[in-house]
Chain A
């Protein structure tokens, strides 16, 4: 009998303290289909508090081998699993969440405005536009003329939409936006860091 394992990198477990193999990810068994992997317990959570545990794939293989010594186990996934244990399911307070969104939006709005103002002041963009106007029409003006400022503002919007790939409901293609990609990269790095910390606490790394 052959067992194929493809387990997730990060699992959340709420309230119940016995973790079964079927909770951890995908399991496929060939040979004897009437053996159910649903009841195979691989880990028991000891303490009654919120904590994160690191499960190595070797521990899981040991647990499977104890029950089914004749099985050949193939691991198609990662070498370790992060298990987050929560005592109670987290209640999401909608109003608190909206407050957080409002705060972050306010910070991003003012920050983006200030950043682009800094950029324009640093590069003296109004002076550049006055020079452009003088190059074309030979007339020195003191205020940026509308023929430059209006297309510039339109160009700003178009440039941003091109870069971010969407604005409000309107989107150009179905790719994830650059910031969503950054988010995924950050989460992967954060998981790797947590695994590193837990492994060094267990004493396996110097």
Chain B
């Protein structure tokens, strides 16, 4: 009986810390403010936080509960586009990437061509992702 209580408490505590860590990561990289700023919907930030909470719960519980969502290809495609958008914004929001560009420009004394370099970066990411999935051998399925 005592063991069950301790085990339940261990599960509860790990849930609290894991979620705090993951969502602190999402908040700290400044992803949500950038998207809110760009879409001019600053007043809805509290709503966005609620949405992040629900999304996190949905994803975390997916390890234990087998969901049966409707099998519509359009839904799956929209889902995949949204995941891709998020990972794309995440990949560029990380400080490493955000600092690489300015340092690269200073070292090479470049003053023009910033938009083209960013475009090349974006197309490179898309191409790399396509290659990763369509060409075999990059990961163990």
A binds B: yes
Select A100's contact among B7, B19, B41, B89, beta carbons within 8 Å: B41
Tell me whether A159 and B7 are in contact in the complex, defined as CB-CB below 8 angstroms, given that A104-B39, A107-B86, A126-B63 are known contacts: no
A71 beta carbon closer than 8 Å to chain B: no
Which residues of chain A come closer than 8 Å to B64, judged between CB atoms?
Answer: 126, 144, 149, 153
Chain A residue total in the interface (Cβ 8 A) = 59
Within 8 A of B (CB), among A144-160: 144, 147-160
Task: Give the Cβ gap from B124 to chain A, nearest Cβ, in Å.
Answer: 21
Give the docked Cα–Cα distance between A159 and B39 (Å): 29
Does B117 interact with chain A (Cβ within 8 Å)? Answer: no
What residues of A have a CB within 8 angstroms of the CB of B71 in the complex? none
A182 to B4, CA, bound (A): 41
| Interface hits, B11-58 → A, CB 8 Å | 11-20, 22-28, 30, 32-37, 39-42, 44-58
- Please report which residues of chain B, range 75-130, place their CB below 8 angstroms from some CB of chain A when the two chains form the complex: 78-79, 82-83, 85-87, 89-90
Bound-complex Cα distance A187 to B36 (A): 11
Among residues of B, the one whose C-beta sits closest to the C-beta of A106 is B82
Asked whether any CB of chain B lies closer than 8 Å to the CB of A43, the reply is: no
Residues of B within 8 A of A56 (CB): none
How far apart are the CA atoms of A139 and B30 in the complex, in Å?
44
Question: In the complex where A156-B19, A180-B45 touch, is A109 in contact with B51 (Cβ < 8 A)?
Answer: yes
Instruction: Return chain B residues, CB-CB under 8 Å to A107.
Output: 35, 82, 85-86, 89
A160 in contact with B11 (CB, 8 Å): no
User: Which residues of chain A are within 8 angstroms of B63 by Cβ–Cβ distance?
Assistant: 117, 120, 125-126, 144, 149
> Does B50 contact A167, Cβ atoms closer than 8 Å?
yes
> How far, in angstroms, from A154 to B17 measured CA to CA in the complex?
12
Q: Which of A96-117 contact B (CB under 8 A)?
A: 97, 100-101, 103-117
Task: Kindly identify which residue among B42, B52, B79 contacts A108, using a CB–CB cutoff of 8 Å.
Answer: B52
B134 at the A interface (CB under 8 A)? no
B11 touches A147 (CB 8 A): yes
Against B, the Cβ 8 Å flags (1 = close, 0 = not) of A71-110 are 0000000000000000000000000010011011111111
With an 8 A cutoff between CB atoms, is B131 at the interface?
A: no
Let me know if A147 and B18 touch, CB within 8 A.
Answer: no
**Interface membership of A35, Cβ < 8 A:** no
Q: Looking at B39, B82, B85, which has the most chain A CB atoms within 10 Å of its CB?
A: B82
Given contacts A107-B85, A115-B59, A156-B57, 19 further A-B contacts (CB under 8 A): A104-B39, A109-B58, A109-B82, A111-B86, A114-B83, A144-B64, A147-B11, A149-B61, A152-B11, A153-B15, A153-B57, A157-B19, A159-B17, A159-B20, A161-B53, A166-B49, A182-B28, A183-B45, A186-B33
Closest 4 pairs (CB-CB, A-B): A155-B15, A111-B86, A113-B59, A112-B55
Task: Give me 7 A-to-B residue pairs in the complex whose CB atoms sit less than 8 angstroms apart, sorted by A's number.
Answer: A104-B35, A112-B23, A113-B55, A115-B22, A120-B63, A155-B15, A185-B30
A contact residues vs B (CB 8 Å cutoff): 97, 100-101, 103-117, 119-120, 125-126, 129, 132-133, 136-137, 144, 147-164, 166-168, 177-180, 182-183, 185-187, 190
B residues near A (Cβ < 8 Å) are 3-4, 6-20, 22-28, 30, 32-37, 39-42, 44-64, 78-79, 82-83, 85-87, 89-90
